[in-house]
Structure 1
């Protein structure tokens, strides 16, 4: 009898019935937690479907405002803009041009919508070689070529300033250059943009999950890889060091990318730092769920929601995701 009484006192399923279940739910997901990526393409006059990312398109400049309004109709208030320029060169000079695709799109979106506009500050979409900065002085055919970190910082400063001047609400440097947050913060402050926050891709891994994005943004390396400046997927302690450096340099939001394979890194960032933590639910994570759903193996709506919930539960305050609109509509 004592054992029976003891067992009656330990029944967690009492709190799983329909009436009480939502009241004791530990993690909530809201459209305001989500940031929707938007691709603006200077090379097209019509929307171009992205084959590896079902439901997403590259949109021409003239459709940028309409595309952002579509996002906002779902309840998602923030977008991050990625640009495909009309031409590329060795240094990615269209990335900071006053008449660049992101600069023009940002002006229109800021003027004509109430969206919160973040901009990607990187060079991979703009360089002819597809790397995230100026190449070191080694032969282009060298498979181990990497970027010149310090020379690239000066270009990232230009990009961030040009985005702020165009009306961006937040800039998001994603190149994983050492010192990029400090350089951009100094540059923005010197230009009178002290109020513009920086969301740093503080722990960005050299991941196999980026493939569809590189198709979408036309930003795949023409040779070599990015392992000399993006993080080794084997390392978690290193992520703590990387994030700590960005905090010291003035980052306002700390990003972990990708999300699902790195939930431990998100959780560590949440425990160690009091800054808002963001996670990027990347293109490969999106594409694989779509592929499984197309085969009838998974329910897309359910696994999309569960995936984002797991990212939020791990400690992310903000989630960049290609599921933003569909999940927001569910919510």
Structure 2
């Protein structure tokens, strides 16, 4: 679209910036609580709230506290919570069997949320790293992260989450073919209404560090994830992966990280016109929180500005640790 604008002084763009009311009338992108998905870390125990040092304001919560958080989300108008488990190291194994245990942390938390706040959509993470003694998203065989065997395990994990009542399955592993395999298994098991929000363009980023602390994967990780997560220099590849995941049955797609990859969000939305989300990851959150704590930035303003950037880039919503804080501000 090429805008038509009269020459000055007939055109004075400042006219519509003159008052708050005029600015509101012409605002192109808007942020609301409907745009927020709240990532929550769950751990064992009862009445536990364990702060994550590298993520100020974020804690690992026991399941009873997760249920309380779900009720808070519901009261704030946040439509969805995404669960990430902090797994006891003793349960991490080579075969990752805890990933599809019907009574693992994630599956118990799903059931607790559905009891406490049935109106909240529950999203889950599908990747083996919280359960893998090697810290990787897939199986490690002789130093190689193997694809097809990992997909088989991921399918079992997704089915266990669907059985527990998950509304949205979020494969974040970046194994080839996992969307088609999970979609086929869900259909065969009678879970035809469970949605897949695929991490279609997930980059091998340095912005994930605090998250790995939060789920206890930092110390376990051997090597890096460059053979399955995307090269940060690539954007055309991201579109190919989005197209593939949609063709295999994804209902929605994700770009991760968020702010450093807004160009990918815009390209994906323009190319496919499907529900598009971004993950404002732990490193992005930690940077803004640290700068605000030092008085270098206005924390509330940069938080809302950063979230609005996702809307401007074409996203329908964003996973963000700022969700409850932002929702309280948006609700006035």
Give, in angstroms, the shift of residue 42 of structure 1: 2.2
Q: Is 2:282 aligned against 1:280?
A: no
| Map of 1:77 onto structure 2 | 79
The 5 Å alignment of 1:47-196 reads 47-86=49-88, 87-113=91-117, 114-136=119-141, 138=142, 145-196=143-194
The 5 Å alignment of 1:192-271 reads 192-220=190-218, 221-271=220-270
Question: Deviations for 1:271-329, whole angstroms, at most 9, x for unmatched residues?
Answer: 01121001000000000001111111100000000001011100110100011111111
Give, in angstroms, the shift of residue 219 of structure 1: 2.0
Give, in angstroms, the shift of residue 112 of structure 1: 2.2
* Distance 1:6-1:32 versus aligned 2 partners, 3 A rule: closer
Cα separation, 2, equivalents of 1:74 and 1:252: 26
- Would you say the 8 A contact 2:310–2:317 is kept in 1? no
- Would you say the 8 A contact 1:146–1:226 is kept in 2? no
| Map of 1:317 onto structure 2 | 316
Listed as ranges, the gaps of 5+ residues in structure 1 are: 139-144
Listed as ranges, the gaps of 5+ residues in structure 2 are: 1-5
The DSSP-based 3-state class of the residue aligned with 1:270 is helix
Cα separation, 2, equivalents of 1:11 and 1:186: 56
Count the aligned residue pairs: 320
Cα separation, 1, equivalents of 2:309 and 2:140: 38
Question: Deviations for 1:3-23, whole angstroms, at most 9, x for unmatched residues?
Answer: xx9421121001102231100
**TM, length-normalised to structure 2:** 0.94
Give, in angstroms, the shift of residue 60 of structure 1: 1.1
- Would you say the 8 A contact 2:71–2:116 is kept in 1? no
**TM, length-normalised to structure 1:** 0.94
Q: RMSD across aligned C-alpha pairs, in angstroms? A: 1.3
